[in-house]
Amino acid sequence: MTGGEGGVTITVSDTGTGIDNAYIGKIFDPFFTTKEVGNGTGLGLSISYGIVQDHGGSIAVKNNEGKGASFIITLPLAENRER
């Protein structure tokens, strides 16, 4: 986690297989999932995206297909947030 003049950045990374590049543009879409029917709703990243946006922030993904992925969340400091 890092801080700056305008906010804080949180990076969450893994060392798994990464995200198939064919899916990168869809991962924040509601109900998008690569899981089989009955094994997930595809709402997790969509809800996370909405929560971060509602707080004036942004969320992005940095993918290293075959080597893991990182999600970068940037949130404004409370005193800098527009109301």
For residue 78, the 8-state DSSP code is G
Mean pLDDT of all residues belonging to the chain: 88
pTM: 0.79
Neighbouring residues of 17: CB distance < 8 A, sequence distance ≥ 6: 65, 66, 68
What digits encode the pLDDT tens for the residues 19-36? 999 999 999 999 998 888
Could you tell me the CATH superfamily of domain 2-71? Histidine kinase-like ATPase, C-terminal domain (3.30.565.10)
Q: pLDDT at position 34, please?
A: 85
Work out the pLDDT band at 75, boundaries 50, 70, 90: very high
Domain range list for the chain: 2-71
Work out the pLDDT band at 40, boundaries 50, 70, 90: confident
User: What's the rounded Cα separation, in Å, for the pair 15 and 3?
Assistant: 24
